[in-house]
Structure 1
């Protein structure tokens, strides 16, 4: 678990892709009776809907099942003195903030005494109750920043005396299923010495199984994709009038994916801004993102963390000038001749991803695809197989690739250059993590070579185009 969680502190890259196991528990009493505002059903493409024949449950229904407290791990044998960290110039310790012993114990277990830059800056504002807008790339530790702040709020403020089962106190919305799973796993690790319950709702997973969580325990921290959250809300299972902290992660990606109308429906059902703390994170601060932040926050603190380098120095970058008709031959020969074992291939469209995966599989290279069309249970198996080395090549779109963190990816191949330069940085950032070296190879064909100059402008340097060696363009051998 330690290795899997290093990425949220900006020290590593691997996070569990399996769905988090909800802790078996509850920590409060029940009872509130405000009527929910029904929300329209989501059209989120990756959300599997409950069967039409199912009857909606009546809102605000108290569970008659016995409710168990989450068995928090014992903390009495551990003291803060066991977490000794010397002050260091230019570094902020977690000791420098007033964090609960239970939370410090969890941070100590993870082995991270010093904050990353975004953690230090965000916590300086949010622990005082201020709204915040943060701009930081993946791998900077922003997930831990908003989780530590959220957990502190829930531990220092007693829960309402009257409370219903489906009323989360903190709500975290993320655009993809993989990112929701990652955040929920990180939250479970940070709350393991508390009695706070963490739940995650995503499309593509069994609806009734997720529903059972709400029927057996209170929900303190809820992490969800917009569409599935609205499904639960429409059925009267989840009510958002008690949300104390709301977090929107990867706001720019939610804009790109068309989720903002759903997010607006969700936010309308939470307390008014000023009565809740709102944290918004985005890899970019576009005008659209800042307009949303203005609507949903009150005098937010703005934290911007500039990466030391737009693209890591540990990633060796190559661009091959190649005809579109030769791209697949080049891809196959690169992987087959070099015997690479863990490669990510990016393409811009889902149909491209599907065709590449099918051709590689047909030609004897173990490959799997990752796009919005792949059911969640299959996505989890694919990521497990990729981590274990059973799958050599993972082919993905930019949207599906967000939230995927796998150790030891040696090569990233851009089968098609992305239309947005920032996506290029996100893609090649899948390799060369945690001090290891990596290689990115981009194919620039007649249809997408125009995307190269904006990428070079963002990087601040030219990338020399190479002609691929003749042996990399030889015909793919037929399999009998």
Structure 2
């Protein structure tokens, strides 16, 4: 006991001495501009309103327990204020465009938006934020690359900043939950969330399958989870082990609901949603590339009087993507692919195939023939998928071969060409594939190989696009045999 008292008073003396000593003045470095990701494209949109503060949520039953609760730690302090001030972010008002200044967003959030180089809202951002910042549920339909991720992230951050967290709170109780169908999309959303929460002191965590469970658990136990981005299966793993509780979720986002339907995840999503507060006590945002009857039925079950935001592009496929179709025999497809890449010295190309075994064979042949290639499919472990994407982003991989499921959530600037080695069975997948290029205002090229086994998919694609795509015969030079190693 005496030793403990000495230790206690020793700490108090040290604390008093530290308080008496003036702290050195530290000048933090100025904010560094970060290159804008794909969600930074600017589109015209109507002006919208500004949000009032949201009501404070009632604490859940576990917040009232005091005896057998898990350790609760102090919140991560906000980053030290930098030299940045709102006057540094000047954006001129333009007719037909909505600025982020037109909403009541905190200085911390505006600082992050400034760093990312977002001067004006995209159409879906302008319209969605006009509703969600007032606390209303929303259903959004827009093409990939239109900025929907930033729309729901900005709304989440604003909500969490306006409503203080309860004083008593478990580590594994997120205040915002984002569910996405693929691991790549979860990682991309979390990366965007980390950039937007840079100055807010909010913690972003990801739960994805294929990664070390214990490592994710340690991260959860080390700090409070404010924004959780997860795939359905891994989130259920954490829930069933009692590591995550969803009764404090204030905002829930379902991204790419149509893809979750296609992949059979809806039963798992239903299990997850049953653990969150009733829909009348949480804000729910649902996003989908298409509004099928099934998607709208789900939205009706999970939202309350949602605002419906539909962004109809002038063209289904971006005007920045030049589209070609080569009529080619199946046996000549690989020769055409090899010669296109090598003769033109392309440096960042995505190749799509319909099946995982096709993806594997294409990647193996490219590597064997001296091309820096890698594959993405459901069979590739998650840690390898993340490393592959980073290598592709950094230019260490020239050709990335992927299935539709693996490639759906990839947002990498600078992809010059997309090649459809096989035409997709679903015309919507064609639009998503070619949308990997021509992003952030740059131009891109898509080339589709139409063989005897998949050319019948063209009419459906042309119907979706609303126009014909002329079919060409590839030049003879692109069909020459692939040289053997050593020749």
TM-score scaled by length of structure 2: 0.86
Matches of 2:402 and 2:296, distance apart in 1: 29
How far apart are the structure 1 equivalents of 2:82 and 2:385? 40
Q: Residues of 1 paired with 2:467 and 2:278: CA distance?
A: 46
Structure 1 residue 6 and structure 2 residue 37: aligned?
A: yes
**CA–CA distance in 1 between the matches of 2:38 and 2:303?**
28
The answer on whether the counterparts of 2:36 and 2:118 sit within 8 Å (CA) in structure 1 is no
- Say if 1:32 and 1:162, in contact at 8 Å, map to a contact too: no
TM superposition shift of 1:149:
0.8
> Hey, what does 2:359 align to over in structure 1?
353
Shift of 1:91: 1.1
- Counterpart CA distance in 2 for 1:383 and 1:293 is 32
Q: CA deviation at 1:339?
A: 2.0
Aligned residues: 437
- Tell me, in whole angstroms, the C-alpha distance in 2 between the residues paired with 1:152 and 1:385: 34
Q: What CA distance in whole angstroms lies between the structure 2 residues aligned with 1:197 and 1:206?
A: 20
- Kept in 2, the 8 Å contact 1:414–1:441? The answer is yes
Cα RMSD (Å): 2.0
Contact preservation (8 Å) 1:31, 1:162: no
Give the one of 394, 398, 407 matched to 1:388.
Answer: 394
Q: Distance in 2 between matches of 1:417 and 1:4?
A: 33
Residues 232-381 of structure 1: pairs in structure 2 closer than 5 A: 232-381=238-387
User: Relative contact order, CA 8 A, sep 6+: which one is greater?
Assistant: 1
Q: Say whether residues 1:107 and 2:113 are aligned partners.
A: yes
What TM-score results when the alignment is normalised by the length of structure 1? Answer: 0.87
1:83 and 2:112 matched: no
Distance 2:288 2:34 in 1: 25
Distance, in Å, in 2 between the alignment partners of 1:467 and 1:77 is: 59
- Indicate whether 1:472 and 2:487 are aligned: no
1:395–1:211 CA distance, 2 compared to 1 (3 A): same
Which ranges in structure 1 are unaligned for 5 or more consecutive residues?
13-29, 36-59
**Residues 31 and 164 in structure 1, CA contact (< 8 A), matched pair in contact too:** no
> CA offsets, 1:329-357, max 9 Å, x none?
21112222222221110001111101111
* CA distance in 1: counterparts of 2:437 and 2:60, whole angstroms: 50
- Worse-matched range after superposition: 397-406 or 379-388: 379-388
Q: Which of 410, 432, 436 is equivalent to 2:438? A: 432
1:419-472 alpha-carbon deviations (Å, 9 max, x no partner)? 111111111111122232221110111111111011111111111111122222
* Secondary structure, aligned partner of 1:33: helix
Alpha-carbon distance change, 149 to 63 in structure 1, aligned in 2, over 3 angstroms: same
Q: Is the 8 A contact 2:63 2:169 kept in 1?
A: no
